[in-house]
Structure 1
């Protein structure tokens, strides 16, 4: 038994059976008129005709009922199809359009429209949110922005489509600022490199005056030009002229005058000491006198804002190399005595001649040492160098040798002290 189709909101379908088809009249077997048996034959023909008509009706119903069921099913499906369709307002990077979609949520809509989004892109409502008929969906693509703000560089992302909108989105003050690109310039999806210098207040102290300006200059030197201050010659500033001027910064202009001065300076010589076993211990003889060298040094002399600065060495040239001094140092042991002179009072003689000072010299520089030898006599006795440079023991030893040779005559005034 076929049940009636479910009732839907669509208009009901009325089924009207098709009229029975009339059976065709049999073709005559021959051209002659029907004989007396015709009445019986007619009844049989009428019976057959009625049976044929009933079968035709039943066949028509068999065809119509399934078709009606299909039509009713399609009518119900159409209602569900219409209910799933939604009208959505989609705006992609500021370009709006209205479309019909069967997507159930935002992700399905983006996939159906071929819109790939990444972590820096903005989607509203949020991804995964259910879609309603009449929903407004906004997609804004992220754009890389390489921003240098007041000398500090950083990499960031923005969904703004123009430079002005991006700076406002990032909270950057643009009034009075220098921009490397116009405010109306687009920010492409491939990214943009942007330099921004905001307006800052800088104070200059120059020539006894104070000047404060508002500037978006890239360097202190450029800000100086804007303030009408000129650097001349060696003039400079308290901060490097090519540094970035900061907001609220005070910069002092240094007026510098300078000259150069060349001075010749002495290069001291070194002393080299070597042992000599031909000299008595304690004896030192200058074999080669040292000689200082000389160099020519150039100094920069400056005054800063009228104040003299310490001289600064900027160049030097050696004019003459120094010559080291060679000193021979005696290592030969001193003899213990001189026969015929050991019993005399040599201390008394030394006190009389030199006050007992081994390094003493007379006013003329001719005589020296404890016993006031002249250099000729000293060398004749085997001494070297000057007598006053020899140890006291060596001086006494050579004085005894002199006494053995000449007695007390070399000391005409003090010689008698030997005999006390």
Structure 2
């Protein structure tokens, strides 16, 4: 504390001593007659003074000649931060009021900033009066331990105190006790994180209690919890080329994409329901996104083999079911079979697997791409039912043997695994 503040405290202490009511402490004072001087000398030397030590007042008779002499006679020790008014060296007169204030280290909240300060005052009310000229909102912060709140001095030695908690205000008449006892009188229970401070009525914002109390004991409910927020992590896209897929089939999705999850954990502190702070505890991707994979074919379809040239006389005859002409292209059973053998080999189906495939589709359609079962409606070389199923292999499924064969090979692979698997089923059930 600066000399100026100490002087202000001393002056305020003198004023307080005159205006605040006191609780007398009976103190025995031994009156001893002085030698030489008789009754007149005794009367001149004896003085009646008032001693106020931290709000406890004693009226006593003394023969001391100075303020310091009275303090010494009463066993009052004064520390370097304590305040005495008048000064210890002051001459003593009858009727003198001696005020002693013991300095205590307080935690102050001044306009939202906390600081440790020594203040010489009898109670929190007096301390706030001393600090009032700073022109700031001043709060005296109570220390906390478990469910206890403590101040090194009483709340108010004279007047009632307004206890503010949970949106309600209650005036406690006898506030000479410690913070904890005042809270007990108001039936206010503290949680471990709650904050407690003493301030004036205006700063506390409880004008309705201004006529009953000068200061307020405020309890702030503090809640700290972890809040979990999940946010999507957008998945990526990838296009891959497939040399075994025909380019005219377009793209297909080989792997569905899926967004991931980003999990954010924050520690949020609220004071009386209002958010005060938010601290990030963790921020991580807890579910990885799955990339969407699209396959694009680069393989060119084999060109169909043309129908062998025939004489004009034979061409004028009836058309055979084993050959056909569509859109200027001619196809034959032998040409269709050659395409089938080529496409099967591309899948690794040679040797016995090709033999099984050749036998299967010879039985089904005779390798005629225009073959149609009149009873079931099955169509084409693989006898797809309905024939439109082959549209997944190409829009020209009705006329292009290569499209039909590609679809049929995929059907066999998906349902039976190999041509021999399909052929074995066909022999046992007469269908595949």
Could you state the TM-score of these two structures normalised by the residue count of structure 2?
0.28
The structure with the larger Rg is 1
Could you state the TM-score of these two structures normalised by the residue count of structure 1?
0.29
